[in-house]
Amino acid sequence: MAGMRVVAAMSGGVDSSVAAALLVEQGYEVIGVTLQIWQARDPGAQARLGGCCSLGAVSDARRVAELLGIPYYVLNLQEAFRRSVIDDFVREYARGRTPNPCIVCNREIKFAALLERARELGADYVASGHYARVDWEPERGRWRLRRGRDARKDQSYVLYPLEQEQLAHVLFPLGGMEKAETRRLAAELGLPVASKPESQEICFVRDGDYARFLEEEIPDRFVPGPIVDRQGRVLGRHRGLPRYTVGQRRGLGLAAPEPLYVLEVDAGANRLVVGTASEAGRRRFEVEPVTWVSEAPPADDGWREATVQIRAHSPVRAVRYRLAGGDPGRLELELLEPLRAVTPGQSAVLYRGDEVVAGGPILRVRE
C-alpha cells in the first residue's frame, strides 16, 4: 500500500482512531480529517456536546493524529450539513415522517463531500471506522457492501446509499473486527481514546431531546390536535405531531382496555391515528428512491426473496420484493409476517446473506 494516499475521517472516538492507526500500519499515506459539521446556537451548548461535533472530539482526534505522525485537518462542512442533513430532518418531521439523519449524512457528507475533498488532496481512498466490509465480486462485476463481522456493531444498514463509484474508493479497516478487539488494540497502541465511551445520540440534537430541537425549528408544527382510532372516533389530544412516530406505544396519554400504538402521523389533518397491536401490524409497503448495491436491478418485475431490516438496530425479517411498475427506482415489499413499526421516512434495506442488495426510504405503507 506504499504511496496510496487515504483520507481518514477522524471523529475523535476509538473506532475512527483505530481505523487510522491500522491504515498507517498497513503502509498507507494517511491524512486525518475531522468534519466540522454542526455549530450549536449556544456556545455553552457546543462545549457540552459529547459527540463528533464537540470541541473535545477535535482535540482528541488531533492528539491521535500527532501520536500516529500523520497530518491532520479540520474541514468546515457546516453549510453543506445544514442544507443536506438538518434541513431534511426538519422537513421530514414536518411531513409526519421519521427520518434517519445518519443515513443522509453518510450519503451526502461523509462519503460524497469528503470524497470530493479527498480527491482535491490527491487521495485514492476515504476511510472511516464503520463496522462494514467492501469487496469486489468479479462474477457480477460489482462492489459488494457486506455486514461487519461483529453483528452487534454492524453498520451496513446506514451505509446502503453508497453507490458503486463510492464503494470503489472507501475503506473500512474495522469491518473484520469485533468491538472488543478494537478496544484492546487501542489500548495496546496507547491511543488516548482507548476507553472513551461511545456517543449514541444524533450529533446535532443536544441531550437526545429531538422534540425540543424540532420545536425550535418548526414551532408551527407543535399545535395540539386530535388522537383518533381507525374509525375516526376522538380518544384524546396529542401535543404536536413531531413528538410521535409510527409504532410508538408510550407517551400517548390515553387510557384504554389494551395497549394502543401509533398507526399514522397525519400531518395534513394534524391528527394522530392509533390502534391496537392487531391493527398496527403491516405487511406491504413501498420504497423510493432505491439504491442498488451488491446486485444490479432485476431485469423483470417478478417477486424475489430476501431479508429486510427496517430500522438501524432491528432484526431482519423475511420478505419478498419486486420492482414497482417495472421502475428500478421503486420497490414493492411484502413481509411474510406483519410488523408494527414499518415507518415512513425510515429506510428498508434488503439483504441476501450478509450482502446488502438494495435499500431506500419507506415511501408509504399499505395494509
For residue 38, name the pLDDT band (cuts at 50, 70, 90): confident
Expressed as residue numbers, the domain containing 258 is: 223-280
Domain count within the chain: 3
Catalytic site includes residue 52: no
Residue at which a domain ends, from 232, 262, 280: 280
- What local confidence, expressed as pLDDT, does residue 57 receive? 87
Measured between alpha carbons, how far is residue 78 from residues 39, 216, 305 in Å?
A: 7, 19, 41
Average pLDDT over residues 176-201: 91
Considering the domain architecture, whether residues 308 and 182 belong to the same structural domain is answered as no
Residue range 306-327, pLDDT digits in tens? 999 999 989 999 999 999 999 9
Tell me, yes or no, whether 63 lies in a domain: yes
Residues 6+ apart with CB under 8 A from 196: 12, 13, 14, 60
| Amino acid 46: pLDDT | 47
Do 176 and 236 fall into the same domain? Answer: no
**Same domain, yes or no: 263 and 306:** no
Q: Do both 201 and 319 map to the same domain?
A: no
- Do 250 and 312 lie in one domain? The reply is no
List the CATH number of the domain containing 171.
Answer: 3.40.50.620
Is 129 a member of any domain? Answer: yes
Are residues 63 and 158 part of one domain?
A: yes
Let me know whether 276 and 351 are in one domain: no
pTM over 0.85: yes
Task: Give me the CATH number covering residue 265.
Answer: 2.30.30.280
Has residue 264 been placed in a domain?
yes
What's 323's domain CATH number?
2.40.30.10
The top-scoring range by mean pLDDT among 22-36, 185-199, 204-218 is 22-36
Residue 40 is predicted with a pLDDT of: 60
Of the pLDDT bands very low, low, confident and very high (cuts 50, 70, 90), residue 303 is very high
Tell me, yes or no, whether 14 and 89 share the same domain.
Answer: yes
Between residues 223 and 201, the one the model is more confident about: 223
Average pLDDT over residues 173-188: 96
Q: Are residues 32 and 155 in the same domain?
A: yes
203 labelled catalytic: yes
Residue written as grid cell 444490479: 296
Query: Are 272 and 288 members of one domain?
Result: no
Residue 96, classed as helix, strand or coil, is coil
* Boundary residue ending a domain (179, 208, 237): 208
Question: Is 337 part of a structural domain of the chain?
Answer: yes
For residues 23 and 64, state if they share a domain: yes
Q: By mean pLDDT, which of 1-5, 24-28, 95-99, 177-181 is the weakest?
A: 1-5
Dist CA 86 CA 244 (whole Å): 18
What is the spatial distance between Cα 166 and Cα 169, in angstroms, rounded to a whole number?
Answer: 5
Half-sphere exposure for 293 (CA within 13 Å, toward CB): 26
**CA dihedral of 87, 93, 96, 99, whole degrees rounded to 10:** 90
261 belongs to a structural domain: yes
Residue 85 domain flag? yes
- Pair 238, 263 in one domain: yes
- Calpha distance 125→142 (Å, rounded): 17
